[in-house]
């Protein structure tokens, strides 16, 4: 499986997207499909200092796409959709309360703007991904000590390749600089690659990107499993209680996308369901005797 | 000895033989403020039993007695012995059958011919246990047969601290490829293993680490309704074995912590 | 004498739709035909574009390294597939530059490297296998019409 963990939602607030933006989103998905991606994560980026979060309907993606009903034709072809929220944090004291997002989004990620915010994200918060703005130089030095704390907790660090493909040469340079800094401070561990591209021109084949990054001095053989682990970790948060007992057999590839899915199952959905039926029959017969 | 002031009580036991007297003394004479003081005065010495033993030996003996009492509980070791014995019998039976087949040139031999068979556990005996478990888990999750479904998150929390002795499990995924597809009724839920009895009357220890177990709860009255018509009415849950490595009585009060899923 | 060692890069061009323009429908067939549209460029243009891009991204140094054996061996307009030959030591520069190409003849495009091999034969085999798979997909039951994409192995611009 190939997954793109970041396809940005067209708007950064709770306004309703226009028809043009929706078409843009659809066009991106068909290009991703052609490039053999099967799992697509739509990323809602929000600055919680500026935008007030409503008390209900926190997830605008599910809300406006009607639980992905609008993408029905893609789902029929086997593409899985997930939602993600990226919270921009500038002051560490404002990023404390994330609990309301857990039940509404699949993946929680953080974009720290200051070093203090990064320390908070690596140390205290229960999140999946830490990402950076690759169009600009990261305004602080990434220390191995801070990043290492995040790695120990299993947080993944994201590389967004869309700035590499931009026409602006400064953005390209910033990307390479930031990328090398991240590789150095994380010692090639816990990195993931995603596109974060705002239109369909800046999407590329995953292996091509990986080869290019390897030329720059990147040696992670686990990068594909890392992406899978992020999806697994985030879906288990909703579908299981602290990863002890889960609903369903394969949380990533299950056809049921909705966050509040019914747990009732048909026998065909259960792997080797006949065995359980036979068992119940035995119990019934015993009762008759 | 007095529970509140064990040290003082053992001190006083040097001069007074009866326990009641000591407790009474402590209650009346012992100051209960911040700095407890015990006022002592010379008394006429009465004969005290075991007076030749020192205070420390007394204490040590008492501790020793307590430990001995603990050791009396041998159920665990008996259980272990039973499991080992059972596995040995299983092997023996298997070898015997093989031998019998070879010597008599038979393609199939029924197990019931051998005397070891009588001592083995039977799957059918545990059906009652399974039945009890199903009614227990339905009670726990408040599943009524009218089709109303409980809250998922609540269900999961309850299940994570539920009892699994008597549950009918199937191995869904495992690091050990041999185990996939094995199924049976759990007879004991130990820290690192599920001990199950298979349908072929075999006892099996299945390691929890790296294994996923499936179980199914019917949401209809399976005793009265026709089973063939109710393909749509099941709840399916999966146990993630790697995160389930606790004994059942430890699990009931445990607060699970969220971990990263890197090792699953 | 040591033989001159080279690498052959099999690539294809995807033409993504205009970001804000709606397709008539989003069925698999329609999206495949829009993305695999017929291209209207010749090998020379691609070579020039590639040279320009290497110079843009890797500077004079990169352009100098790559210059002596870079060549577009084959390019088919109908399937938008082609093979590039370059020297073995520096093929990373070529793949890197291909990655960053955004436009060809003022038309948005994505270059995708499919296969890298030491002999041109293996590249051809791989391309034929791929095209067969694509044809099978297009001919399968989901589509009522069969689209005519002829395989043109004869068009060799050597």
Confirm if A152 and A183 have CB atoms less than 8 A apart. Answer: no
Sort out which chain C residues have CB atoms less than 8 A from A31's CB and list them.
14, 16-17, 35, 110
By C-alpha distance, the chain C residue nearest A70 is: C26
Residue A265 to residue B222, Cβ atoms within 8 A:
no
pLDDT band for position C156 (50/70/90)?
very low
- If residue A7 lies in a helix (H) or strand (E), which one and from where to where? strand A3-8
Sort out which chain C residues have CB atoms less than 8 A from A201's CB and list them.
16, 19, 102, 108, 110
For residues B192 and B244, give the distance between their C-alpha atoms in angstroms, rounded to a whole number: 8
- B255 versus C12: the higher-pLDDT residue is C12
Eight-class DSSP state of B28? H
Among B131, B233, B234, the residue to mutate for chain A (most A Cβ within 10 A)? B234
For residues A238 and A248, give the distance between their C-alpha atoms in angstroms, rounded to a whole number: 12
Confirm if A227 and A191 have CB atoms less than 8 A apart. Answer: no
Per-residue model confidence (pLDDT) at position A5: 83
| Residues 96-125 of chain B whose Cβ lies under 8 A from any Cβ of chain A | 124
Residue B193 pairs in a beta bridge with B207
Q: Which residue has the tokens 């340079």?
A: A173
Dihedrals phi, psi of A195, to nearest 5 degrees = -90, -50
DSSP state string for C44-103? HHHHHHHHHHHHHHHHHHHHHHHTTT-EEEEEETTTTEEEEEEESTTHHHHHHHHHT--E
| CB count in 10 Å sphere of residue A219 | 10
Of C60, B219, B161, nearest to A262 by C-alpha is: B219
Per-residue model confidence (pLDDT) at position A202: 82
DSSP state string for B184-241? EEEEEE-SSEEEEEETTS-EEEEE-TTEEEEEEEESS-TTTS-GGG-TT-EEEEEEEG
As a whole number, mean pLDDT of residues B111-120 equals 72
Confirm if A47 and C39 have CB atoms less than 8 A apart. Answer: no
Per-residue model confidence (pLDDT) at position B244: 77
pLDDT in tens, A237-271: 777 777 777 776 666 666 554 444 556 666 666 67
DSSP state string for B143-187? --TTSPPPPHHHHHHHHHTS--TT-EEEEEEESSGGGTT-EEEEE
Per-residue model confidence (pLDDT) at position C142: 54
Per-residue model confidence (pLDDT) at position B9: 76
Is the CB of C37 inside 8 Å of chain A's CB atoms? Answer: no
Per-residue model confidence (pLDDT) at position A261: 53
pLDDT above 70 (res B148): no
Of B214, B209, B218, B211, nearest to B237 by C-alpha is: B214
By C-alpha distance, the chain C residue nearest A205 is: C112
As a whole number, mean pLDDT of residues C58-73 equals 84
Per-residue model confidence (pLDDT) at position A267: 67
Residue B174 pairs in a beta bridge with B211
Per-residue model confidence (pLDDT) at position C147: 45
Structural domains of chain A, ranges and CATH numbers in brackets: 3-240 (3.20.20.140)
Per-residue model confidence (pLDDT) at position A284: 73
Residue A171: strand, helix, or coil = helix
- B59 versus C116: the higher-pLDDT residue is C116
Of A170, A147, A284, A156, nearest to A222 by C-alpha is: A156
Q: Closest to A241 (Cβ–Cβ): which among B124, B130, B156?
A: B156
Q: CA dist B36 to B3, B12, B26, B31, Å?
A: 16, 15, 11, 5
What average pLDDT does the structure give for chain C? Answer: 79
As a whole number, mean pLDDT of residues B144-165 equals 74
For residues A179 and A134, give the distance between their C-alpha atoms in angstroms, rounded to a whole number: 8
User: In three state form, how does the secondary structure of C7-42 look?
Assistant: EEEEEEEECCCCCCCCCCCCCHHHHHHHHCCCCCCC
pLDDT in tens, A106-132: 888 888 888 888 888 888 777 888 888
- B150 versus A225: the higher-pLDDT residue is A225
pLDDT above 80 (res A182): yes
| Residues 131-160 of chain A whose Cβ lies under 8 A from any Cβ of chain C | none
pLDDT in tens, A50-79: 777 777 777 777 777 776 777 777 777 778
Confirm if A211 and C95 have CB atoms less than 8 A apart. Answer: yes
Among C20, C91, C96, C106, the residue to mutate for chain A (most A Cβ within 10 A)? C20
For domain B122-254, give the CATH superfamily. Answer: Ribonuclease P/MRP, subunit p29 (2.30.30.210)
By C-alpha distance, the chain B residue nearest A274 is: B231
Domains of chain C: which residue ranges?
A: 6-18+27-139
pTM score above 0.90: no
Confirm if C93 and C65 have CB atoms less than 8 A apart. Answer: yes
pLDDT band for position B48 (50/70/90)?
low
Going by CATH, does the domain composed of C6-18+27-139 fall within 3.40.50.10800? no
What average pLDDT does the structure give for chain A? Answer: 79
Sort out which chain A residues have CB atoms less than 8 A from B244's CB and list them.
244-245
Residue B233 to residue A282, Cβ atoms within 8 A:
no
| CB count in 10 Å sphere of residue B122 | 11
In Å, how far is B165's CA from the nearest CA of chain A? 16
pLDDT in tens, A19-33: 888 888 888 888 888
């Amino acid at each position: 499986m190939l997954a793109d963990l970041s396809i940005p939602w067209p708007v950064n607030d709770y306004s309703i997207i226009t028809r043009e933006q929706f078409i843009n989103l659809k066009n991106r998905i068909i290009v991703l499909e052609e490039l053999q991606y099967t799992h697509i994560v739509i990323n809602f980026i929000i600055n919680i200092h500026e935008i007030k979060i409503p008390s209900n309907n926190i997830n605008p993606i599910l809300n406006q796409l009607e639980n992905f009903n609008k993408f029905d034709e893609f789902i029929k072809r086997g593409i899985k959709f997930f939602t993600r929220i990226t919270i921009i944090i500038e002051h560490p004291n404002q990023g404390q309360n994330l609990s309301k997002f857990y039940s509404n989004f699949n993946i929680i990620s953080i974009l720290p703007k200051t070093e203090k915010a990064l320390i908070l994200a690596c140390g205290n918060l229960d999140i999946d991904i830490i990402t950076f703005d690759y169009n600009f130089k990261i305004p602080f030095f990434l220390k191995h000590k801070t990043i290492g704390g995040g790695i120990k907790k299993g947080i993944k660090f994201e590389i967004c390749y869309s700035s590499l493909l931009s026409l602006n040469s400064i953005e390209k340079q910033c990307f390479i600089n930031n990328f090398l800094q991240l590789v150095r401070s994380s010692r090639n561990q816990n990195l993931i690659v995603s596109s974060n591209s705002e239109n369909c021109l800046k999407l590329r084949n995953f292996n091509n990107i990986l080869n290019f990054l390897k030329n720059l001095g990147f040696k992670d053989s686990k990068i594909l499993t890392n992406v899978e682990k992020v999806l697994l970790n985030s879906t288990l948060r909703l579908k299981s209680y602290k990863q002890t007992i889960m609903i369903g057999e394969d949380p990533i590839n299950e056809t049921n996308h909705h966050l509040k899915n019914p747990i009732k199952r048909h026998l065909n959905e259960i792997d080797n369901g006949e065995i359980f039926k036979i068992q119940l029959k035995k119990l019934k017969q015993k009762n008759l005797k | 000895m007095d529970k509140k002031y064990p040290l003082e009580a053992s001190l006083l036991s040097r001069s007074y033989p009866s326990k009641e007297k000591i407790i009474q003394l402590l209650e009346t004479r012992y100051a209960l403020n911040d700095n407890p003081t015990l006022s002592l005065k010379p008394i006429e010495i009465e004969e005290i039993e075991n007076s030749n033993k020192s205070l420390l030996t007394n204490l040590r003996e008492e501790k020793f007695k307590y430990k001995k009492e603990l050791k009396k509980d041998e159920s665990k070791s008996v259980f272990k012995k039973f499991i080992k014995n059972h596995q040995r019998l299983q092997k023996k039976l298997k070898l015997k059958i093989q031998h019998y087949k070879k010597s008599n040139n038979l393609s199939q031999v029924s197990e019931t011919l051998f005397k070891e068979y009588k001592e083995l556990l039977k799957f059918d005996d545990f059906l009652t246990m399974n039945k009890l478990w199903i009614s227990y888990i339905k009670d726990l999750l408040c599943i009524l047969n009218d089709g109303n479904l409980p809250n998922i998150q609540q269900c999961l929390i309850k299940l994570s601290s539920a009892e699994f002795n008597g549950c009918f499990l199937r191995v869904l995924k495992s690091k050990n490829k041999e185990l996939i597809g094995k199924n049976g009724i759990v007879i004991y839920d130990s820290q690192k293993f599920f001990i199950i009895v298979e349908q072929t009357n075999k006892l099996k220890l299945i390691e929890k680490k790296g294994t996923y177990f499936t179980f199914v709860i019917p949401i209809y009255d399976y005793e009265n309704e026709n089973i063939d018509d109710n393909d749509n009415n099941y709840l399916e849950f999966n146990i993630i074995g790697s995160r389930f490595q606790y004994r059942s009585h430890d699990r009931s009060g445990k607060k699970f912590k969220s971990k990263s899923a890197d090792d699953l | 004498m040591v033989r001159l060692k080279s690498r052959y890069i099999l690539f294809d061009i995807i033409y993504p739709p205009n970001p804000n323009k709606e397709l008539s429908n989003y069925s698999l067939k329609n999206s495949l035909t829009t993305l695999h549209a017929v291209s209207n460029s010749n090998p020379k243009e691609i070579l020039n574009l590639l040279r320009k891009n290497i110079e843009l991204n890797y500077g004079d140094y990169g352009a100098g390294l790559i210059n002596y054996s870079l060549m577009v061996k084959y390019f088919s307009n109908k399937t938008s597939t082609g093979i590039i030959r370059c020297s073995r030591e520096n093929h990373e520069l070529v793949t890197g530059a291909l990655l960053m190409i955004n436009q060809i003849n003022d038309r948005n495009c994505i270059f995708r490297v499919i296969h890298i091999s030491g002999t041109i034969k293996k590249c051809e085999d791989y391309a034929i296998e791929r095209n067969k798979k694509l044809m099978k997909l297009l001919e399968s039951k989901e589509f009522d019409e069969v689209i005519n994409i002829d395989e043109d192995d004869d068009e060799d611009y050597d």
